[in-house]
Amino acid sequence: MSTLLIEGGHRLEGRVAVEGNKNAALPLLAACLLTEEECVLTNVPRIGDVEVMARLLLDLGAEVEGIGTTTLRIKTPRINTDAPDRGLVGRLRGSVLLLGPLLARTGRAHIAPPGGDFPARRTISTHTEALQALGARERPGPDHLLEAPDGLKPASMYLYEASVTGTETALLAAASAPGVTEIRHAATEPHVVELCEFLTKMGAVVSGIGSSKLRIDGTAKLRGAKHQLGGDYIEAGSWAVVGAITGGEIAIEGCREEDIEVVAAVMQRMRVECGMRQGVFEVKPSKPQAVRRIATGLWPSFPSDLVSLVTVLATQAAGRTLVHDWMYELRLFALEQMSGLGADLFLADAHRIIVTGPTKLRGGRTLDSRDLRSGMSLIAAGLAAEGQTRVAPLETVERGYSQLVDRLKALGAKVAKVE
């Protein structure tokens, strides 16, 4: 494991370019299993989670070229096993996306409980219910074992939860089920839209893209396709907070205005000078102000993936802010560590935290990056704190942020990776 050593108190300045959307890359890689023909993905983020998913495809029998680069070529003329490697599955929540393609290609899927952040609190019931609606049968046991010996069948379904990966699981399965499937209460995030667009290129007919009601005319013979991933707005929002919390000036390239506006709206309410100009999202030196309440929500509301970062920003905003993440438990617990840096925090319950600022943060502690997003948030806190702070394990954060240490240094951060 590695530790990031941070000397805080330095203003970050410069330009940074985001790579493709992490949350789009994983379902697109899974979709490549639906065809025997070659698929090509470009602007793929060079992050840990993508490498794990690519190695899962290799384990299943796919030919994968370009691991570690921004261009991946995937061809799967045959699938060798319906049970992907347990160790790799245990490292990646997104491994659940393999269920649909495995059922489509082999009639059977057997995966261990997926890992990732908060695995014990995040079930895959929405995924399995969608697959059962499409004709799969689930066998009892500690693992997830589904069978569809007669193939997947089109269906009309309502998702009890507008789950992003649950919607993607339903889409992946429906695309290969000949006939018309309708999915209601579908997630509408940009990465769900990208999957719909990719499946359309592969030969499925998807209508209602971007809405909560999707109609998929599936086919048993999908073809290969090429796709360039859109920029990761969560990564862009992370860099924006890093710039704001250090009083810096950062220009962020590669994100779309219609995606980043969900982040910009909250930052602008906090009186952070930021906005899109000629295709670049700019953050200027500002004096943040508290807002009464920041709450997460389904797209296009403020994303849960950025709630930890905006909480750290609130420690430097004048006044009191209630941050409410009703979507996930545990995400805010890791931020209690900032009390040791001097932050004024009150954790009301598993979903709400009250932040009073501004407070002068002081280093001298080692912080535990318990999950991907809180890990990046603690790094942001370390960058704003006086003195030295350590964040470990760094690998947790590198799951979702490409070349993190090098890019921090390029912006003027005083950081070092210690093995």
* Same domain, residue pair 154 and 262: no
Cα 183 from Cα 209, distance rounded (Å): 11
Total of domains in the chain = 2
Instruction: Print the domain residue range for 340.
Output: 3-18+231-418
User: What CATH number does the domain containing 68 carry?
Assistant: 3.65.10.10
d(CA 75, CA 87): 23
Residue 119 is predicted with a pLDDT of: 45
| Residue in 117, 232, 259, 325 annotated catalytic | 117
Residue pair 132/103 in contact (Cβ under 8 Å)? The answer is no
Clarify whether residues 85 and 177 are in a common domain: yes
My answer on whether 73 and 212 are in the same domain is yes
Quick one: 235 and 200 in the same domain?
no
49 assigned to active site: no
Single residue among 178, 193, 228 that ends a domain in this structure: 228
Q: Do 95 and 53 meet the contact criterion of CB atoms below 8 Å apart?
A: yes
From the centroid of its chain, how far is CA 167?
A: 15
Residues 301 and 376 in one domain: yes
Residues 204, 243: one domain? no
Residues 205 and 305 in one domain: no
**Quick one: 91 and 123 in the same domain?**
yes
- On whether both 204 and 295 belong to a single domain, the answer is no
Domain check: are 63 and 192 in the same one?
Answer: yes
**Each residue's pLDDT expressed in tens, for the chain with a length of 419 residues:** 899 999 999 999 999 999 999 999 999 999 999 999 999 999 999 999 999 999 999 999 999 999 999 999 999 999 999 999 999 999 999 999 999 999 999 999 999 999 866 544 568 999 999 999 999 999 988 899 999 999 999 999 999 999 999 999 999 999 999 999 999 999 999 999 999 999 999 999 999 999 999 999 999 999 999 999 999 999 999 999 999 999 999 999 999 999 999 999 999 999 999 999 999 999 999 999 999 999 999 999 999 999 999 999 999 999 999 999 988 877 888 899 999 999 999 999 989 999 999 999 999 999 999 899 999 999 999 999 999 999 999 999 999 999 999 999 999 999 999 99
Same domain, 123 and 155: yes
Given a contact cutoff of 8 angstroms between Cβ atoms, the answer to whether 395 and 1 are in contact is: yes
pLDDT tens profile 145-203:
999 999 999 999 999 999 999 999 999 999 999 999 999 999 999 999 999 999 999 99
Residue where a domain stops, chosen among 228, 248, 276: 228
Same domain, residue pair 290 and 248: yes
What is the strand order of the sheet 63-65 is part of? 63-65, 71-75, 39-42, 226-228
Output the pLDDT for position 120: 44
The residues, ordered by sequence, that sit 6+ positions from 361 with a Cβ below 8 Å of its Cβ are: 8, 315, 316, 338, 341, 342, 343, 381, 384, 385, 386
Which of 197, 228, 259 is the last residue before a domain boundary? 228
